[in-house]
Chains A and B, each alone.
Chain A
Amino acid sequence: MTLYDGRIGADYEVRGVYVEEAVTRRLQALGINDGTTVKILNRKRKGAMIIQVRGTRLALGRHISSCIEVKEEA
């Protein structure tokens, strides 16, 4: 599944980031790497979402969140 399919309040483990090169690098610099845990704090039904990663909050557009492969954490 991708992060875009996630729901508010759940934790997800990042399995892969497949956006354009420059955006991938930015996400990695912000700490979104394979194995990182992210939590969805808030989202619009068909749009951007707010996630928590490594103690900070990021707003991600739909294009980016649907290019991040994740696995739901138990």
Chain B
Amino acid sequence: MAEAKYSQNGRGQIRVAFVGNPNCGKTTLFNAVTGSKLKVANWPGVTVEKKEGYAQYEDCDLTIVDTPGIYSLTCYTIEEKVTRQCVMDDEIDAIVNVVDASSLERNLYLTLQLLELGKPVVLALNMMDIVEERGMEIDLHRLPEMLGGIPVVSVSAAKRTGLGILLHAVVHHYEEGPAGNILTYGEELEAKIAKLEVMMQARFPLHSSVRWHAIKLLEYDEDVRREHPIDVTNVVDRSYEKDIIQAKYRYIETIVKEVLFHKEKKAAFTDKIDRMLTHPVWGVPIFLLIMCCVFFLTFTVGDFLKAGFEVALSFLSDEASALLTAMRCAPWLISLVVDGIIAGVGGILTFIPNIVILFFALALLEDSGYMSRVAYVMDGIMGKAGLSGKAFLPMVLGFGCTVPAIMATRALETERDRRKTMLITPFMSCSARLPIYVLFSEMFFPSHPSAAAFSMYAIGMIVAIVVALAIHGYEKGKINDSLLIELPEYKRPNGRTIGIYVWTKLKDYLEKAGTTIFIASIIIWFVLNFGIHGMVADPSDSFGAAIGRGLVPLLAPAGLGMWQIAVALISGISAKEVVVSSFAVLFGVVNANSQSGMQTIISHINAQNPGFGAVNAYALMVFCLLYVPCAATIATVRKESGSWRFTAKMAVFQLLLAWAAAVVVYQIGSRLF
């Protein structure tokens, strides 16, 4: 019997882990239970992020840990290792097993494994509404009986119902202690388990989950064998893993037979949609069409909405300037605030509508269940490049932001595939590059701005796939056709989940504007307004101009031979939006993303370089698309690959590729047009 730990103020404290299959609504439930008390923590020593949050129930403080979704407690993937390590940890007092009730049979497999751990387990039955919609029924009385009397609570993560009952069950079941053993493996195996249990207890008397470890020894589990070096060869003559898995599934079949009624009356909805979306011929065109729609919405609707932001920004700029003048501030301070900070940061903020729409669309695709279909649809093309269709998922995420996309490569099976995917993911044009396209396509392609911007996304995708194909050809690798991914049921996207997703991304964007871009803008302002003789009146005498001029000969073959462009591109490494900020600061434009701002930039560029036209602008966009990713991405690649060598090679490769592509665009383009 376990006793609640009491803190100094007399309140019980329980650490609860949320564990479940991928796509069972675990994170939605986690968000619903912990509400606003969410704290995202990077755990030390592990590579995959786990989230921690807090909830209260009566006189108990619950710390809730959200773990990566897993199918079983083996240790074949990073996610499994992390989750297993987390639930085995003595710090975890109780487990909430989140179960997708609409695929009970598969989900119960993990449940049976969790029960063997000997920790208190509470079953949270999620997605009961889908069960009802399908005309199925689950016997909520018989199910707990078959699982050894553990509490079974039906919850709806999306509608936020059953949450109080769930916490109540956790607190009380924790006080009661774990349920007994429910599944026996037949005489032969049980005899072996009993022997192993005795051996385990002799060597590790303080061990909490003896039976689970005994079973794992019988399964030849590598980690358990390494951590418990007992000689068991006389008991374990071979791996009994298959027998144990089959015994579990046999038991699950009896459970399902007893508790689930009217099976599969109408699971047809998902299948009907899938016949179109995963069609052998139309699957790829439909995916491309969907992405077209996403970007179309991002550009056109986003541009439509940004007018309001522009008005607000010019108002702010005028007011700030007037206020600072009235306060008799030094001209350099006024210049810093108005030409440096407001121009650099404010200009970036006018792109918020575009960013929000882009992330909203990506969230819809993720939450509806379409993303894993993309892996299936693109599997053939990716397979030829030696990658599984799964590698395409991080790439799609890369349209949003490259940093989480690089982290998402963890889902790939081998290190080799991961590195290859990390190398090509930055070519998928992220939202930070969007302001550059919007600005330059509207300035230089006034009749077809959306088409010019959209072509960047297409070029990025093509370059990514061509590079993967080239590496694959160079390595003479085999076709990869080992796709294995679950396709979840389609569901109505949950407003709250999408809201949280978009809000976190927007917050990241604002934070970036407030930190990286803010600092970068100040530095750019300084570099452009100061020279060796102090503050300069003409930027071409500044430090920035001196640095930029050094690079002009290199950029000239790409039609980008202007020191201003060199400065903008260098500063863009801090964050890609800064390319736009730099142009604003360079040419003293308060809002680059407005008609007058664009006119000023164009006239400045033309004053410097009368020949600068659409072809030069396109070469610049291509260069921005492909060149070294932002500092945050470089840091993430370093962390995820664990190698500076790889990271440096990647950056150099991308820089050379960007330069070569821009030169080709300019040289061919300027001869044609």
Contact = CB atoms under 8 A, between A and B. Distances in A.
Contacts of B245: 28-29, 33
Contact of B380 (A23, A25, A48): A48
Given A34-B246, A61-B379, A45 B484 contact: no
B450 interface: no
Interface string A28-72: 111101101000011111011010011111111111100000000
A61 B106 contact: no
A50 B71 contact: no
B71 A26 contact: yes
Given A41-B274, A59-B375, A61-B383, A31 B483 contact: no
A16 to B, nearest CB: 11
B49 interface: no
B145 interface: no
A74 interface: no
Contacts of A26: 71, 76, 484
A36 B488 CA distance: 20
Interface in B94-131: 102-106, 109
A72 to B, nearest CB: 20
B321 interface: no
B10 interface: no
Of the four ranges (under 10, 10 to 19, 20 to 34, 35 or more), the interface on chain A belongs to 20 to 34
A47 B376 CA distance: 10
A63 B375 CA distance: 16
B484 A64 contact: yes
Given A44-B380, A48-B389, A31 B106 contact: yes
A54 B379 contact: no
A53 B102 CA distance: 13
Contact of A55 (B102, B271, B483, B484): B102
B249 interface: yes
A44 B280 contact: yes
Given A30-B71, A59-B389, A63-B482, A45 B76 contact: no
Contacts of B71: 26, 29-30
A7 to B, nearest CB: 13
A2 B246 CA distance: 21
Given A28-B242, A54-B105, A55-B106, A47 B484 contact: no
A37 to B, nearest CB: 11
A33 B72 CA distance: 15
Interface string B67-110: 00001101010000000000000000000000000111110010
Contact of B486 (A22, A36, A56): A56
B487 interface: yes
Contacts of A30: 71, 106, 486
A63 B199 CA distance: 41
B484 A58 contact: yes
A27 interface: yes
Identify which of A27, A42, A60, A64 gathers the most chain B CB atoms within 10 Å of its CB: A42
A42 B274 contact: yes
Nearest to A30: B71
B175 interface: no
Interface string B236-271: 000001100110010000000000000110010011
B483 A61 contact: yes
Contacts of B376: 48, 50, 59
Nearest to A27: B484
A30 B106 CA distance: 6
Contacts of A56: 103, 105-106, 486, 488
A17 B483 CA distance: 16
B83 to A, nearest CB: 13
B34 interface: no
Contacts of B72: 25, 29
A36 B483 CA distance: 20
B109 A29 contact: yes
A63 B481 contact: yes
B31 interface: no
Contacts of A31: 105-106, 109, 249
Nearest to B378: A48
A65 B371 CA distance: 22
Nearest to A54: B105
B388 interface: yes
20 contacts: A23-B482, A25-B72, A25-B76, A29-B109, A30-B486, A33-B249, A44-B280, A47-B379, A50-B274, A50-B278, A50-B376, A55-B102, A55-B263, A56-B488, A57-B270, A58-B484, A59-B375, A59-B485, A59-B486, A60-B483
Given A48-B389, A55-B103, A59-B379, 12 more contacts: A25-B74, A29-B74, A41-B271, A41-B274, A50-B487, A55-B105, A55-B263, A56-B105, A56-B106, A57-B274, A64-B483, A64-B484
